[in-house]
């Protein structure tokens, strides 16, 4: 039960959700989604094959991890989506490139968090889908080169960066998401290789964080890796940069049956719901508070936090998750394409960008799986149509610099996660995909298929 403070009402009232329209047939929507995905994929192949990301307007490319070094990130991100869409020739092309060109030993400093969820997770998912052993070999070699971020830490909290060739570590202040979003990938790698180093490192890091919770059972935002002290004591859930820390507590308990993770998820979630949830204008949002006193420090909400609607549902708080999803749907009603950051108390947009984020579609998929309710498919299809109408370009799909302008002002980048997430969630909602086990399937925070691949 939320306390009186959590039920406080602000002056801003958001519009009512738009009226639901009848959808085309599932077969037609499936074909439409697949066609748009392949439109993006062909744009990447044509202009940036082998590079991390494509610039679909100019026809250029982008190095994501380190300037002058590429890992073929979009190829790795696309592997399991192409496989789920039964594009086997494209899967073969992608795997062949990885086996021939992917190099986990480059002399470059990489961000551990992004490398784990994107490359380690992508290679794992690719291996689980295709059975190609070299994908697992590359994955393990890469993970081994990330381990110094954990093993060289005096506190068991991982450093943010590691040089893949030298093992040198850096980045001594890190947010929660970067500390704890490795449980799934490292735990699965331990399961597949019988090497406990990966799971042990990930679990110790999370245990160290939970031990530093406040008397309110809230967590701050960032920690000093070397001293173990908090450097930012705002409880910002479900916003970044803490978002997926909570996601991996639930998902790790689900994938590995780990009771510690289950109990930590429940303990911390109860505190977030008690001290941060509020309903201005009748819509559920999550304020930021000081983790020791509960004093309110902000009312900003990031689109990346919209994943939390689905997580709450999966974690046992279905009604609250559904309410939070509807809050985001009211923003979709207003802007058609979701802005990056809003202040829900003032109604102001704090960042008008749209970086092709997948979190709203992710929650629609999760809540649809839990309830079967058609409202989530309706919302997901409307989200898809808005992107198609406003951010589709001849070379694929691109980010937007301002969704409040008319027409929307576009940028020039297809983030590699576009190939891993947005259209995968939508496809699985409409395709009755024969290669996905809808009963047991589990996706990572980067949309990687880590359980539930059904090989033909």
Q: What is the mean pLDDT of residues 249-264?
A: 98
Exposure pattern of 406-418 as b/e (b: 16+ CB <10 Å)?
Answer: eebebbbbbbbbb
pLDDT of residue 405: 94
pLDDT of residue 16: 38
Least reliable range by pLDDT among 2-11, 403-412, 433-442: 2-11
Residue 227 is assigned to a structural domain of this protein: yes
348 vs 9: CA distance, rounded Å: 17
Q: Quick one: residue 316, left, alpha or beta (phi over 0 = left, psi -120 to 50 = alpha)?
A: left
Banded model confidence at residue 4, pLDDT cuts 50, 70, 90: very low
pLDDT of residue 304: 98
pLDDT of residue 17: 39
Residue 54 is assigned to a structural domain of this protein: yes
Structural domain for 96, as ranges: 5-447
Banded model confidence at residue 429, pLDDT cuts 50, 70, 90: very high
Q: What is the mean pLDDT of residues 327-340?
A: 96
* 451, pLDDT greater than 90: yes
Give 41-66 pLDDT, tens digit per residue: 999 999 999 999 999 999 999 999 99
Give 209-224 pLDDT, tens digit per residue: 999 999 999 999 999 9
pLDDT of residue 18: 43
Question: Nearest Cα to 161, choosing from 115, 111, 120?
Answer: 111
State the average pLDDT for the chain. Answer: 95
Length of the chain: 456
* 288, pLDDT greater than 60: yes
Residue 218 is assigned to a structural domain of this protein: yes
Banded model confidence at residue 13, pLDDT cuts 50, 70, 90: very low
Q: What is the mean pLDDT of residues 420-437?
A: 98
Residue 453 is assigned to a structural domain of this protein: no
131 vs 194: CA distance, rounded Å: 17
pLDDT of residue 21: 62
CATH number at residue 333: 1.50.10.10
Residues 6+ apart with CB under 8 A from 447: 81, 358, 362, 417, 420, 421, 424, 425
In the chain, how many H helices and how many E strands? Answer: 17, 22
DSSP letter string, 257-274: --HHHHHHHHHHHHHHHH
* 11, pLDDT greater than 60: no
Residue 423 is assigned to a structural domain of this protein: yes
Residue 454 is assigned to a structural domain of this protein: no
pLDDT of residue 22: 86
Rounded percentage of the chain residues whose pLDDT exceeds 70: 95
Residues 6+ apart with CB under 8 A from 69: 63, 106, 108
Give 350-359 pLDDT, tens digit per residue: 999 999 999 9
> Structural domain tally of the chain?
1
* 172, pLDDT greater than 80: yes
Question: Nearest Cα to 121, choosing from 450, 452, 455?
Answer: 450
Asked whether 421 and 361 are in contact (CB, 8 A), the reply is yes
User: For residue 363, what are the β-bridge partners?
Assistant: none
Residue 452 is assigned to a structural domain of this protein: no
211 vs 451: CA distance, rounded Å: 29
* 19, pLDDT greater than 80: no
Q: What is the mean pLDDT of residues 67-85?
A: 97
Give 363-379 pLDDT, tens digit per residue: 999 999 999 999 999 99
Q: Quick one: residue 220, left, alpha or beta (phi over 0 = left, psi -120 to 50 = alpha)?
A: beta
328/3: higher pLDDT: 328
Residue 156 is assigned to a structural domain of this protein: yes
Q: What is the mean pLDDT of residues 75-93?
A: 98
Exposure pattern of 142-181 as b/e (b: 16+ CB <10 Å)?
Answer: bbbbbbbbbeebebbbbbbbbbbeeeebebbebbbbbbbb
Q: What is the mean pLDDT of residues 3-29?
A: 53
Give 227-245 pLDDT, tens digit per residue: 999 999 999 999 999 999 9
Give 179-198 pLDDT, tens digit per residue: 999 999 999 999 999 999 99
Handedness of CA 427, 428, 432, 433 (dihedral sign): positive
Banded model confidence at residue 262, pLDDT cuts 50, 70, 90: very high
Q: How far is CA 386 from the centre of its chain?
A: 21
Banded model confidence at residue 86, pLDDT cuts 50, 70, 90: very high
User: At residue 360, what are phi and psi to the nearest 5 degrees?
Assistant: -65, -45
* 14, pLDDT greater than 90: no
């Amino acid at each position: 039960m939320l306390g009186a403070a959590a039920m406080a009402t602000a002056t801003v009232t958001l519009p009512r959700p738009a009226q639901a329209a009848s959808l085309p047939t599932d077969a037609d929507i499936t074909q439409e989604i697949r066609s748009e995905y392949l439109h993006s994929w062909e744009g990447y192949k044509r202009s940036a094959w082998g590079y991390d990301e494509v610039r679909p307007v100019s026809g250029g490319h982008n190095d994501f991890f380190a300037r002058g070094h590429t890992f073929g990130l979009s190829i790795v991100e696309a592997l399991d989506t192409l496989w789920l869409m039964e594009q086997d020739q494209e899967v073969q092309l992608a795997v062949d490139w990885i086996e021939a060109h992917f190099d986990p030993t480059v002399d470059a400093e990489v961000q551990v968090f992004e490398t784990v969820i994107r490359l380690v997770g992508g290679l794992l998912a690719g291996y689980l889908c295709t059975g190609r052993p070299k994908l697992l070999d590359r994955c393990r070699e890469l993970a081994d080169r990330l381990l110094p971020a954990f093993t060289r830490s005096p506190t068991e909290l991982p450093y943010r960066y590691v040089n893949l060739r030298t093992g040198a570590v850096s980045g001594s202040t890190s947010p929660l998401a970067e500390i704890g979003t490795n449980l799934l990938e490292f735990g699965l790698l331990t399961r597949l290789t019988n090497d406990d180093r990966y799971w042990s490192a990930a679990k110790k890091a999370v245990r160290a964080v939970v031990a530093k919770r406040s008397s309110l059972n809230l967590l701050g935002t960032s920690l000093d890796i070397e001293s173990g002290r908090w450097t930012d004591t705002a409880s910002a859930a479900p916003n970044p940069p803490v978002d997926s820390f909570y996601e991996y507590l639930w998902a790790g308990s689900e994938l590995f049956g780990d009771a510690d993770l289950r109990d930590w998820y429940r303990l911390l979630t109860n505190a977030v719901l008690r001290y941060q949830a509020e309903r201005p204008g009748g819509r559920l949002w999550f304020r930021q508070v000081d983790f020791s006193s509960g004093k309110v420090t902000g009312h900003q909400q990031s689109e990346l936090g919209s994943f939390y609607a689905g997580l709450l549902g999966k974690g046992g708080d279905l009604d609250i998750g559904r309410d939070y999803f509807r809050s985001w749907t009211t923003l979709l009603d207003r802007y058609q394409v979701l802005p990056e950051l809003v202040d829900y108390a003032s109604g102001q947009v704090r960042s008008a960008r749209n970086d092709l984020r997948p979190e709203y579609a992710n929650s629609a998929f999760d809540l649809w799986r839990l309830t079967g309710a058609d409202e989530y498919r309706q919302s997901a299809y409307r989200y898809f149509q808005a992107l198609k109408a406003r951010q589709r370009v001849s070379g694929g799909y691109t980010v937007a610099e301002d969704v409040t302008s008319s027409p929307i002002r576009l940028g020039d980048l297809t983030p590699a996660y576009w190939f891993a997430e947005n259209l995968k969630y939508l496809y699985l909602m409409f395709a009755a995909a024969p290669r996905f086990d809808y009963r047991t399937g589990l996706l990572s925070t980067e949309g990687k298929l880590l359980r539930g691949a059904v090989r033909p």
